[in-house]
A and B are shown apart, each in its own frame.
Chain A
């Protein structure tokens, strides 16, 4: 009997020896080893980060969340004055220029805040990243989500003005809402993926060499001019055919994914602009590729960055 117990213990020991380790910490150099289950386990953290971002942004300000409205409104007014009233850019179809600009800016703002917000993830959070482990990707994703809320609020502003222009002004007849509005989630997704992907790439690359972070701050500004925010893409085509604009500039602007995103957004909201299924497919694929690339680079960086940041 004792002998048997001995054997049983031995077996137990062997079993224990072969016990699966939960995980191991190594200098893993694999291309990608994202643990999606782990990220899912941390979903509460994501939610709390979003909550933190939202409630702390305008703490100790008098106007509080009103700032969400003020910024796009003022930008739209200035854009209307400069680009439409002074530079005389036609919005096409008799769409009120203010509404045109508000639509573009709301969409552009979402992309640019996502990009700006995520592009210094590592640098901004080195304090917390240096102390505790959680899937780092939670951080940029939370930025995307909290900006989504901000975007939603700005969209409400847009809808208010939209209703005003449709029901209380003469320009009502020119605006048409169509079934294409159903594409709307795709537009948002593409913007989020592009902003997140680019942001992750930049934040990873700036952990060691800070050069790129200088580029981002004004690069995003400049990119806005190349993304058909304050003019319709048809204007570019016209200028290229008139030989006012070099051909390659036209091509660059046309194949800038953000141009299509903005154009698509205006098409959905106001019924103006040129979109094609080809272009929609193009931006979807580009955004997914950028996002995946960003994820891989980010994932590679997150393990070592604290030594170099």
Chain B
């Protein structure tokens, strides 16, 4: 049954104490203990601040997670995204029972196995085969289970040749392959995965993603997947939770949540431009842009530098950090000027035929002959592309269908 809820988090909170453990801590511990034997609540659970990594707080206690509620249905692949320090890893640690919540509870109807970091418990002195058994057992398999799958595991890892060699002789990629192979053949009802796909070569990453899709789609197993890689979140997850400062900021459809995540990161846009030596301001003048319409960019220069600058380059990337297109002054044959002293530079693209989504661009500034970058401003500008009925029939293309969008004309030549 699709609506069967397999995992439920109720008001899960986790408090951490900052600073060092030292003699000062013991007084707090004694106080806590004194409250407990009198049957009172932990006095330090009352204090505690929202976990914002960058702001300075007054309390030594912070809530890494505060009142997290969510449900996961059977067979669902749930993505969890959030900035560094938003509480993703803490949540996973609680889910995989490495640590327990300060308050609240998580109820589950199935075994949870976690793949927090592959290769956990590998012993360098033991052979690949021995490590498969050990690692499998650590992840909760019985010897019999592993024994029945060992050939498949070895085959999937692609390390057959090395299987009876100590793991310390393996390359790091091979270790990861072996470890992922073991985990891939785990059969828990719920699998928790954290950023494993960031390792291994392209071939293996593809294999791993394929395997994860097979796990969730084919066998109806539930997967909780944490990643910073929006492409793999989008590929794998039906639904996504976005955490922010230890709370659930948004849950819902993956595309919508990713959209929110990216626009959130735009709000807190980097002050790279602010720090720039040459550039005062960069803006896309008609943001958001409709597909196929004009793209107008304006760069205003500062007036206090001596260098002669006559080159500007812009690289536009999509949400998956993949370059979509590049533009530059040197590519425009009609442009041959140097700019300085509060000048502003505008760039127009007549029709921007790229698929809807969020984009960001870096700017490189320098001299053209010889070409030399004097400064590169990463994440200098962000813009959105929206689909305002481009095809005139209510249909639209999404990112999975490609980066560019064209109107196409079809004709049938009848006999």
Q: Are B25 and A208 in contact (CB under 8 A)?
A: yes
Q: Are A132 and B126 in contact (CB under 8 A)?
A: no
Q: Are A21 and B120 in contact (CB under 8 A)?
A: no
Q: Are B123 and A26 in contact (CB under 8 A)?
A: no
**Binary A-proximity of B129-148 (CB < 8 A = 1, otherwise 0):** 01001100111111100000
Residue count of chain A within 8 Å CB distance of chain B: 39
How many residue pairs at the A-B interface have CB separations less than 8 Å? 112
Say whether A19 faces chain B, with CB atoms less than 8 Å apart.
Answer: yes
Residues in B whose Cβ lies below 8 Å from that of A47: 143
Residues in A whose Cβ lies below 8 Å from that of B120: 127-128, 131-132
Say whether B16 faces chain A, with CB atoms less than 8 Å apart.
Answer: yes
Say whether B97 faces chain A, with CB atoms less than 8 Å apart.
Answer: yes
Say whether B111 faces chain A, with CB atoms less than 8 Å apart.
Answer: yes
Say whether A242 faces chain B, with CB atoms less than 8 Å apart.
Answer: no
**Binary B-proximity of A33-55 (CB < 8 A = 1, otherwise 0):** 00000000110110111011001
Residue count of chain B within 8 Å CB distance of chain A: 47
Residues in A whose Cβ lies below 8 Å from that of B94: 25
A228 to B171, CA, bound (A): 52
Say whether A24 faces chain B, with CB atoms less than 8 Å apart.
Answer: yes
Say whether A169 faces chain B, with CB atoms less than 8 Å apart.
Answer: no
Residues in B whose Cβ lies below 8 Å from that of A42: 137, 140
Say whether A308 faces chain B, with CB atoms less than 8 Å apart.
Answer: yes
The residue from A21, A41, A51, A303 contacting B109, defined by CB atoms under 8 A apart: A21
Q: Are A27 and B140 in contact (CB under 8 A)?
A: no
Say whether B104 faces chain A, with CB atoms less than 8 Å apart.
Answer: yes
Residues in B whose Cβ lies below 8 Å from that of A129: 98
Q: Are B106 and A25 in contact (CB under 8 A)?
A: yes
Residues in B whose Cβ lies below 8 Å from that of A51: 130
CB proximity to B under 8 Å, residues A1-41: 16, 19, 21-29, 41
The residue from B16, B116, B130 contacting A307, defined by CB atoms under 8 A apart: B16
State whether A56 and B126 are in contact (beta carbons under 8 Å apart), knowing that A127-B120, A133-B97, A134-B140 are contacts in the complex: yes
CB proximity to A under 8 Å, residues B65-107: 93-107
Q: Are B98 and A22 in contact (CB under 8 A)?
A: no
Chain B residues within 8 Å of A, Cβ to Cβ: 1, 4, 16, 21, 25-26, 29, 36, 93-114, 116-117, 120-121, 123, 125-126, 130, 133-134, 137-143
- The 10 residue pairs across chains A and B that have the minimum distance between CB atoms: A133-B97, A45-B137, A26-B105, A131-B120, A44-B143, A21-B107, A303-B100, A24-B107, A25-B106, A56-B125
